[in-house]
């Protein structure tokens, strides 16, 4: 038996263990990058801004693919569902690389409201609302990692017929909701920061 076959068989038999292992690796890479333990090439200000723009495009497409996958499975289009979900998952992996690189190798934007901008007279409340939305986005992003991974691992190690007998349908629904809300809030906070209000280098 090849190593690949062994890994697939182990993942199939122990999806929760593999999910925990991969989630911990992901968390460690992100935290290690921010803490300076994982080397990340430095970015110029222009490249950092470009990465931010690219990330929101990736997340918007990922959200569209995710919702399409949910729509497909509701109508029994299993193959289209699989393709849409794996597309969304692949895009999120690309997002993670760019996000870690941007945050660890670039700079952080500070939310700024200038006089004359929308609801500028309520700047304090708007700022609190922005940070609340961003906080929920980050929290859901963290929570989504093991939920999405578990659903994906079940999906790639079982046939469609077998999946009905697993927790994939239940976990998948949770993953779609958590992941969709997280992506939507990420897009919303990007628009608020970059197009409705403004920012300064933190």
pLDDT at res. 151 = 96
Contacts of 118 (CB under 8 A, 6+ apart): 196, 197
Q: Which residues pair with 109 in a beta bridge?
A: 201
Cα 18 to Cα 173: distance, rounded to the nearest angstrom? 20
42/87 Cα distance (integer angstroms): 29
User: Which alpha helices (DSSP H) does 76-196 contain, by range?
Assistant: 78-105, 123-157, 160-163, 168-191
- pLDDT (0 to 100) of residue 4: 63
Distance from CA of residue 2 to its chain's centroid? Answer: 32
Q: pLDDT for 120-174, tens place per residue?
A: 999 999 999 999 999 999 999 999 999 999 999 999 999 999 999 999 999 999 9
The Cα–Cα gap between 188 and 59 comes to 11
User: What domains lie within the chain, and their CATH numbers?
Assistant: 3-201 (1.20.120)
Full-model pTM: 0.92
CA distance 157 to 18: 12
* Residue segments in the chain with a per-residue pLDDT below the cut of 50: 1
Residue 141, Cβ neighbours under 10 Å: how many?
21
Determine the 3-state secondary structure of 129 from DSSP.
helix
* Lookup: tokens for 77: 């289009």
Distance CA 171, CA 34 (A): 30
Q: Which residues pair with 110 in a beta bridge?
A: 200
Distance (Å) of CA 37 to CA 25, 27, 32, 96, 115:
14, 13, 5, 17, 41
């Amino acid at each position: 038996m090849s190593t690949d076959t062994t890994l697939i068989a182990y993942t199939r038999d122990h999806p929760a263990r593999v999910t925990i292992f991969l989630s911990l690796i992901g968390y460690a890479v992100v935290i290690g990058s921010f803490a300076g333990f994982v080397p990340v090439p430095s970015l110029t200000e222009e490249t950092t801004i470009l990465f931010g723009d690219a990330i929101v495009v990736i997340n918007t497409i990922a959200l569209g693919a995710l919702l399409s996958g949910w729509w497909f499975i509701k109508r029994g289009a299993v193959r289209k569902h699989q393709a849409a979900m794996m597309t969304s998952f692949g895009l999120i992996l690309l997002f993670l690389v760019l996000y870690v690189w941007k945050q660890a190798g670039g700079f952080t934007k500070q939310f700024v409201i200038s006089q004359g901008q929308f609801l500028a007279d309520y700047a304090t409340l708007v700022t609190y609302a922005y940070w609340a939305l961003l906080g929920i986005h980050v929290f859901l992003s963290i929570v989504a990692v093991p939920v999405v991974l578990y659903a994906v691992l079940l999906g790639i190690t079982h046939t469609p017929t077998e999946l009905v007998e697993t927790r994939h349908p239940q976990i998948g629904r949770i993953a779609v909701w958590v992941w969709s809300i997280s992506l939507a809030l990420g897009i919303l906070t990007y628009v608020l920061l970059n197009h409705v209000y403004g920012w300064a280098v933190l």
